[in-house]
């Protein structure tokens, strides 16, 4: 593990829950990946010369501790696996002062042509360097509430209709969500899910989330990326509940390109409600369980 990023939580990265929003965990982790790639022998200048980019195809994320405005953090990274055309990378974010782990990321990443997004083989020198830095995944980053099974076939809009998935977010890809070539950034995928939550709560429970004393927090995420939308593409998110536990819900989200009807990403998220004063999780009561049970979708997956 090497240090690949340092920073502090900005107030504009925090949501109405008072902690850093999930999309900015992804943004900060994404910002640290070029440093890890540089350590593997492929720096940003060479990437520009070759016109290539490293892009995620699968993320497993665990959120272990809240990060609040002003907190300093350090990102460390390493390699878990290397193959001819893929890397399995590990990153974790810790509070710089206390050492407490805030989040862990396992990222399956591939090298692509920066403009056409075609998958490319990894350079021999990079694979050799990565192979010399292999480490084991620590226990705190292993799956807890999700099973990391192979992804399902890429869904289409008609299947979401058939399963009765709720429409929870829709809009065109904005310039601020894109890189310099107009491709949607990784943070914007999970950002769409975060943006959908108030509508999800309104549609499933008839509750205005902004008016209560309870909030919500994600504990674990799986994101599978099927395509990279471009600026102006119209995206729509469909959602259903996979599991209702004692305290946690597992939601499934499918993000679609409305023009093609094909999914651009599929996700699962383990989430809890928590008391905004005590910052402790709240159990799922009988009335809430009955209300949410109407939206259970057996077999929903990424």
Q: Is the pLDDT of residue 208 over 80?
A: no
Q: What is the pLDDT of residue 288?
A: 85
Looking at residue 150, what DSSP letter applies?
Answer: P
Report domain 1-142's class: alpha beta
SS3 302: coil
Q: Is the pLDDT of residue 250 over 90?
A: yes
- From CA 165, how far away is CA 181, in angstroms rounded? 32
Q: Looking at residues 256-263, what average pLDDT do you find?
A: 98
Provide the percentage of residues in the chain whose pLDDT is more than 90: 84
pTM of the prediction? Answer: 0.95
Continuous H helices in 96-182:
124-131, 157-163
N- to C-terminal Cα distance for the chain? 29
Q: Give residue 71's pLDDT band: very low, low, confident or very high (50, 70, 90).
A: very high
Continuous H helices in 166-297:
186-205, 286-293
CATH 3.10.129.10 range(s) for the chain read 1-142, 146-302
Domain 146-302: give its CATH architecture: Roll (3.10)
> Which has more pLDDT, 260 or 217?
260
Q: Looking at residues 272-279, what average pLDDT do you find?
A: 80
CA-CA-CA-CA torsion for 16, 20, 22, 25, nearest 10 degrees? 160
Q: What is the pLDDT of residues 4-63, one digit of tens each?
A: 999 999 999 998 888 999 999 999 999 999 999 999 999 999 999 999 999 999 999 999
Question: What is the rounded average pLDDT for all residues in the chain?
Answer: 94
For the record, the structure tokens of 295 come out as: 């939206």
């Amino acid at each position: 593990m090497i240090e690949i990023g340092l920073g502090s939580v900005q107030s504009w990265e925090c949501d109405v829950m008072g902690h850093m929003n999930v999309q900015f965990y992804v943004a900060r982790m994404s910002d640290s990946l070029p440093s890890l790639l540089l350590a593997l022998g492929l720096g940003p200048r060479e990437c520009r010369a070759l016109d290539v980019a490293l892009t995620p195809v699968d993320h497993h994320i665990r959120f272990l501790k809240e990060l609040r405005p002003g907190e300093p953090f350090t990102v460390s990274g390493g390699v878990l696996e290397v193959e001819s055309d893929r890397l399995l990378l590990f990153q974790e974010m810790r509070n710089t002062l206390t050492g407490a782990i805030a989040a862990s990321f396992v990222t399956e990443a591939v090298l692509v042509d920066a403009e056409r997004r075609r998958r490319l083989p990894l350079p021999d020198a990079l694979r050799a360097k990565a192979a010399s830095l292999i480490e084991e995944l620590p226990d705190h980053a292993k799956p807890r509430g999700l099973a990391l099974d192979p992804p399902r076939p890429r869904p289409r809009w008609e299947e979401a209709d058939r399963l009765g998935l709720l429409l929870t977010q829709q809009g065109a890809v904005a310039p601020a969500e894109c890189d310099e070539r107009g491709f949607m950034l990784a943070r914007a995928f999970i950002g769409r899910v975060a943006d959908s939550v108030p509508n999800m709560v309104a549609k499933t429970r008839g509750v205005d989330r902004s008016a209560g004393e309870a909030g919500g927090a994600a504990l674990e995420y799986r994101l599978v990326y099927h395509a990279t939308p471009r600026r102006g593409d119209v995206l729509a998110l469909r959602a259903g509940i996979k599991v209702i536990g004692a305290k946690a819900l597992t939601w499934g989200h499918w993000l679609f390109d409305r023009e093609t009807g094909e999914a651009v990403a599929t996700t699962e998220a383990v989430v809890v409600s928590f008391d905004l004063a005590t910052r402790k999780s709240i159990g799922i009561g009988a009335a809430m369980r009955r209300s949410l049970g109407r939206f259970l979708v057996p077999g929903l997956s990424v």
